[in-house]
Amino acid sequence: MKEFNPNEQGYYGEYGGAFIPEMLYKNVSDLQERYLEIIQTEDFQQELNQLLKDYVGRPTPLFYSANLSAKYKAKIYLKREDLNHTGAHKINNTIGQVLLAKRLGKKRIIAETGAGQHGVATATTCALLNLECTVFMGAHDIERQKPNVERMRMLGAKVVAAESGSKTLKDATNEAIREWINNPQETYYVIGSVVGPHPYPDMVAKFQSIISKEIKVQLEEQEGTPNPDYVVACVGGGSNAMGAFYHFIDNGHTNLIAVEAAGKGVNTGQTAATIALGKQGIIHGSKTYLIQTEDGQIIEPYSISAGLDYPGIGPAHAYLSDMGKITVGSITDDEAIKAAFELTRIDGIIPALESAHALAYLNKMNLKESDIVVVNLSGRGDKDMITYSKYFNHE
């Protein structure tokens, strides 16, 4: 099975690389030199796969939604990443990275989080593997994602509020990087998406690629073909989308659709539609698209979804978009809310607000009855009940 890899310097075309402070050079260069060697060993793969099976609960189901299929007049499947332990795809990556950190001799783990799912997954893995854990989270996100904050604290993690900027994911990432610079020796930074300096985008993609690997096997069993006509996934930094796309890139058949958060609308100034509006720049250690002013100042993104309001995008997604290998769409807050209530009422599944953006894109697709569509349901909506409850009398 052909893999989608960057070059030796961590570039996908002209995107990626490693733009890092001198204080982090040794940490990042050691990781670049050793990550493939370690994660490809038999004992690492055996421990990872055992935990994914017995602890996380993989493989996650590929659910044929008869109700969505009837509505959209196509064959609609949901990849149920919401059924993972901790409620999202994030734990696929945190288990991999924390196992790697232990083999690198690190004693302390730090992470950033937006919606809180990556923070919960990191805290969970650290509890399991007995490592100290600190999670940085925007103060605004702490308020709108309180259930996940309490879960992290119950798991033993220290949650540190980022009070700068928009007090969201970008700012939490800034604080995590600053902490890493100040404590580089024993600290390992678990990045939660396909962003950051090389090798993080490639490493996270490899750990999340289990999603598309399972889809191929499950679809072969249910439809007699390993390749769907469409795979649809929401994109913030882009880890769940990269995992869902990974084994379908360049297969000559599957259309890959990345759905960004339009917020109040792409052209309203309150949006997180990075590829639609972004220009090339450097953010958090890699060259990619980001939303910025003419003089290069980052514009604060906005989305109702805490996991999608990031001003950048993973460099692999920037490359795939430029090459025409993915289609990029956008969904507003209102469209996402409507899709979330629709799935809840017709299938009894409450999706995460992030995943609801992917679901909402079904309304924009011109589908045939023979089309097989897989929507990656990246997480469950328990964490978003405070937001959803505001719409109970309006939907």
Measured CA to CA, the distance from residue 250 to residue 347 in angstroms comes to 33
| Cβ atoms of residues 115 and 306 within 8 Å | yes
C-alpha separations of 191 from 158, 224, 267, 276 in Å? 17, 37, 30, 24
Identify whether 212 is a catalytic site residue: no
pLDDT score of 393 = 73
C-alpha separations of 214 from 79, 209, 219 in Å? 9, 9, 8
Measured CA to CA, the distance from residue 379 to residue 81 in angstroms comes to 6
Measured CA to CA, the distance from residue 74 to residue 68 in angstroms comes to 8
pLDDT score of 168 = 86
pTM of structure:
0.96
The two tokens of residue 206 are 């490899």
* C-alpha angle 376-290-32 in degrees, rounded to nearest 5: 75
| Cβ atoms of residues 219 and 34 within 8 Å | no
Low-confidence residues of the chain, pLDDT below 50?
none
**Domain spanning 19-52+90-199: which CATH class is it, in words?**
alpha beta
Counting every residue, how long is the chain? 395
Active-site residue among 75, 79, 90, 383? 90
Domain coordinates in residue numbering, the chain: 19-52+90-199, 59-87+209-390
Pairing of strands 75-80, 62-64: antiparallel
Closest CA to 207 of 330, 16, 21, 38: 38
Which CATH fold would you assign to the domain 59-87+209-390?
Rossmann fold (3.40.50)
Identify whether 112 is a catalytic site residue: yes
Q: Identical fold at 19-52+90-199 and 59-87+209-390?
A: yes
Q: What are phi and psi of 190, to 5 degrees?
A: -90, 100
Measured CA to CA, the distance from residue 357 to residue 376 in angstroms comes to 11
Contacts of 285 (CB under 8 A, 6+ apart): 18, 19, 20, 177, 196, 197, 200
Active-site residue among 112, 335, 342, 354? 112
Residue position matching structure tokens 């009070």: 163
Closest CA to 51 of 101, 21, 111, 93: 93
C-alpha separations of 75 from 67, 241, 248, 281, 357 in Å? 10, 20, 18, 39, 19
Closest CA to 253 of 216, 224, 227: 227
Residue position matching structure tokens 């045939």: 368
pLDDT score of 214 = 98
Q: What are phi and psi of 38, to 5 degrees?
A: -75, -50
Measured CA to CA, the distance from residue 16 to residue 13 in angstroms comes to 8
C-alpha separations of 38 from 31, 35, 52, 97, 102 in Å? 10, 5, 18, 11, 11
pLDDT score of 73 = 98
C-alpha separations of 11 from 6, 93, 144, 191 in Å? 5, 21, 35, 18
